[in-house]
Amino acid sequence: MPSATSADALSAALTAAVEAAQAQDLQAYDAALARLSLSDAPRVSSVAGALVRALLERRHPGGLTGEDVGDVLRQAAGSAGWLADLDPDVLLVVVTGALGLLDVDDQPAFLTPAAVLRHAPVLLASLLDDPASGPQPVDPWLRTALAELRRAETVELP
φ, ψ of residue 87 to 5 degrees: the values are -120, 110
- Asked if residues 101 and 59 have their Cβ atoms less than 8 Å apart, the reply is no
- Residues 44-77: pLDDT tens digits? 888 999 999 999 998 898 888 989 999 999 999 9
pLDDT the model gives residue 97: 86
Q: What was the pLDDT predicted at 110?
A: 65
Q: What is the pLDDT of residues 126-145, one digit of tens each?
A: 999 987 778 899 999 999 98
pLDDT > 70: percent of the chain: 89
